[in-house]
Structure 1
């Protein structure tokens, strides 16, 4: 007879956090960011309203609610409804941060390329990728983070990345 392994306290905590991510409070927090104005600072703007793209260059800093995106170059793309569909930041250390829920710490991510997929609430961190989430850190060639579910997927290699950047993690002990 095969014995089932009991879940560890860390596994139970992860399941609880996933449950919280689907709670109405988390949805309201995310909606509050989407309802906030977008503030942008840059040295240059190239806007193509018909194509739904805006390209900002030169020490770009974009803020909306708890979300912040920085980079040497940031391209914003809108969907047919005029809503932000994707933000792509590039630079030596492009950066994205957001507080997914008022009761949770800010999530911070870096990479040479940072892509935020607005509809999916998914972040891709590419080349020298680094993610900090509630005291835990993840480093590698490619990191993908799902803000709502608080799920991290990591790979040592990524398309367009030279060399292998092994995955490294630091997980904080349970409290």
Structure 2
């Protein structure tokens, strides 16, 4: 990301006001499976280009896009660039470690770096955290970088990006956070009945 881009907001452990993000650790070592309408392999560049209703799965990771360029370096690390169509953004989803929570996001382009363990959403970028199926937190901006290894998010409003009219964008970053659900309060202990004097000894009348 270029250093001169303005309005950069770094959110450490934002995730989102509820502790670290920590995605599934095992995903990085899982095989990558891809389905698409067509495949073109460039042997010179060592790049596979999938097009048409592309669906990638890698452990709990799911990526959906119109086009996906994938390559693997000599050390076995995988890299992918997912591109959305004119009417649909590229989509990313991953489960959080040991929780019933998911991180999902969208962008015109989604870049997956298996070596750095980062995901970058570019263009109309959105990132959400869901507790089960319920939306908990949401971030929007021009560029969002999710760094799994350090639990760090970088959100950029991309203020120097020109819109359709040629005017500069507002560069605003928008964040919606919800409080972490409180643990259920324990039921109050039963109040003991007060002792009462007895007119009898041993419970039997004399």
Q: TM-score range by the shorter chain?
A: 0.7 to 0.9
1:116 to 112, 117, 124: 112
> CA RMSD for the aligned pairs?
2.7
Q: Which has the higher contact order (CA 8 A, sep 6+)?
A: 2
Task: Measure how far apart 1:45 and its partner are.
Answer: 0.6
Give the corresponding residue for 1:143.
144
Cα pair distance change 1:40/1:157, threshold 3 Å:
same
Unaligned runs of 5+ in 1: 1-10
1 CA distance for matches of 2:18 and 2:173?
25
CA radius of gyration, larger in: 2
Matches within 5 A, 1:51-130: 51-84=45-78, 86-91=79-84, 92-103=88-99, 105-130=101-126
How many equivalent pairs are there? Answer: 155
Structure showing the higher helix proportion among its residues: 1
1:17 to 11, 19, 41: 19
SS in 1 for 2:89: strand
Give the corresponding residue for 2:39.
45
Measured against aligned partners, the alpha-carbon deviations of 1:116-169 in whole angstroms (never above 9, x if no partner) come to 111111111111100002511001111111123332211111776635252111
Task: Measure how far apart 1:174 and its partner are.
Answer: 3.5
Measured against aligned partners, the alpha-carbon deviations of 1:65-119 in whole angstroms (never above 9, x if no partner) come to 10011110011121122331x2110013101111141325111010000111111
Give the corresponding residue for 1:6.
none
| TM-score normalized by the length of structure 1 | 0.76
2 CA distance for matches of 1:54 and 1:160?
30
- Asked if residue 152 in structure 1 is aligned to residue 153 in structure 2, the reply is yes
